[in-house]
Amino acid sequence: MDTIRFDAIADPNCTSYGLTETGLEEGDIPFVNIENLIPDATIDLRGVRYVLSSNKKIRPQHYTNKDDILISRARLPGIAAVVSEENEGLLYGSYIIRFHLNDEEGTEFLPEYVALFINSVFGQAQVHRLKSGSNGYNINSGQLGGLKIRRLDKDAQQGLVEKIRLQRSASARLGSLVRSFQNISEISFIRSCLGKEDRENFERMVGDLDSQLAPVHEFFEKFDSESEELGELQEIRERFQIRPTFYAKLPTDE
């Protein structure tokens, strides 16, 4: 692959470690931690903790800026996510290192693409090789700087980023459907305990799911039946799967 080191595209003046705090149930400023970093390169604020704005430990570098790349450095080292415009101005914890692409080589890369590459098998295999520690792994900014990123032209990067966004949207819609079925199961149980009848068409609707989803299953089967080379990469990928494929939690409804 045609690659470039991460530290060649990251601005060293913007690299910093997060705020050392545990976070509060309530506060003024959302406090992003490892659990909020999602391997599809987004930040999930559900369950986020907070820090009071009066906290004297806070420094300017502890606030997030748009297009920052946040990478976990401990516990689950090497999970990368990008700060969106909506998440600008949040605080991030000490188990996270903040990077920002520089104004030279970095302009040739999209932050989202860089984060997705780090979260893929190509990035995770490198993280596995570079991380250190015997009682809980960790990785530092210098080691992360040694990650090699695949060079792609901007259009190709944008296409990949848009594809992942579309897939996340589809997953969110299906996730919403799953939650609806879970909710209906509880309601059905309650109705039965109260001596009320269940909806008659529910069983028929569930029975029709297989036929309705058949084209989706067919697509997935064709998508997975690729070359021997990709099959080998899939096997390797299982060793470095940081969380279920590109999702840490059930995506939010969109």
* pLDDT tens by residue, 216-237: 888 777 766 556 777 777 777 7
Q: Is residue 153 part of a domain?
A: yes
Please tell me the predicted confidence (pLDDT) of residue 1. 85
The number of folded domains in the chain is 1
Q: Give the domain CATH number at 125.
A: 3.90.220.20
How many other C-beta atoms lie within 10 A of the C-beta of residue 56?
6
* CB-count burial class (<10 Å; 0-12, 13-18, 19+) for 50: middle
Could you tell me the residue range of the domain that residue 183 belongs to? 1-247
Task: Give the span between the Cα atoms of 76 and 3, in whole angstroms.
Answer: 25
* CB-count burial class (<10 Å; 0-12, 13-18, 19+) for 157: buried
Q: Is residue 83 part of a domain?
A: yes
Q: What is the DSSP letter of 66?
A: T
Residue 12 has pLDDT above 80, yes or no: yes
Please tell me the predicted confidence (pLDDT) of residue 227. 66
Please tell me the predicted confidence (pLDDT) of residue 251. 47
Q: Is residue 222 part of a domain?
A: yes
* pLDDT tens by residue, 15-37: 999 999 989 999 999 999 999 99
Q: Is residue 27 part of a domain?
A: yes
Q: Is residue 252 part of a domain?
A: no
**Residue pointed to by tokens 């913007």:** 14
Range in 3-12, 74-83, 111-120, 240-249 with the lowest mean pLDDT: 240-249
